[in-house]
Amino acid sequence: MSDDATLAARVRTASHLTGTFLLRSGRTSTEYFDKYLFEADPALLAAIVDQMVDLLPPGAEVLAGLELGGVPLATLLSQRTGLPTRFVRKKAKEYGTMRTAEGGAVAGRHVVLVEDVVTSGGAVLDATRVLRAEGAIVTDVVCVIDRSEGGRERLAELGLQLRPLLTRADLDAAAG
């Protein structure tokens, strides 16, 4: 089994749930990949991030982890690459700095969004709009899982290239 297939099997085993789940997009699904289950396993998280390093495009200057699942990924990627990281909230903090993007300025910098699972791409599109409004150059998104449910196409409409570590097909193949 290749390293990619082994990692897909590990991620699937750790995070694949069946039942009825309401997704952020408003759709329901009979399957769910619970990112907190693979992010909470330090050995698996390290293996995931080690492979995600190769997904980063040339010229990346800043990583931006999306609340909440993208934050541990971006933090560990930052540690591995030396790139600074920012943290993008779902909505602006209502006290203190009152910011949506935390951790420093992004204006004029090539920011790579870091996400856990992309389904419809809604959270990534929201974060892109916020960062671009602050002057960031955002063209790339790295994620652990692309559920292959239209997210890639929606992101492309905003000029974003999705760079997934694993796709739904990879996870299905790992099911054997």
* Dihedral sign (CA 124, 88, 36, 53): positive
Could you say which DSSP state residue 27 is in?
Answer: -
Instruction: Tell whether 122 is in a known binding site.
Output: yes
Instruction: Tell whether 140 is in a known binding site.
Output: no
CA distance 119 to 125: 12
Instruction: Tell whether 103 is in a known binding site.
Output: no
Instruction: Tell whether 115 is in a known binding site.
Output: yes
CA distance 173 to 176: 5
Instruction: Tell whether 91 is in a known binding site.
Output: no
Q: Spell out the long-range contacts of 24-27 with Cβ–Cβ below 8 A and sequence spacing 24 or more.
A: 24/119, 24/120, 24/122, 24/123, 25/119, 25/120, 25/122, 27/119, 27/120
Q: How many CA atoms lie within 13 A of 33 on its CB side?
A: 25
Instruction: Tell whether 120 is in a known binding site.
Output: yes
Instruction: Tell whether 90 is in a known binding site.
Output: yes
Burial of residue 22, with CB atoms counted within 10 A of its CB: 0-12 exposed, 13-18 middle, 19 or more buried = exposed
Instruction: Tell whether 152 is in a known binding site.
Output: no
Instruction: Tell whether 93 is in a known binding site.
Output: yes
Query: Which residues contribute to the annotated binding site for orotate?
Result: 119, 147
Query: Which residues contribute to the annotated binding site?
Result: 24, 89-90, 93, 115-123, 147
Query: Which residues contribute to the annotated binding site for 5-phospho-alpha-D-ribose 1-diphosphate?
Result: 24, 89-90, 93, 115-123
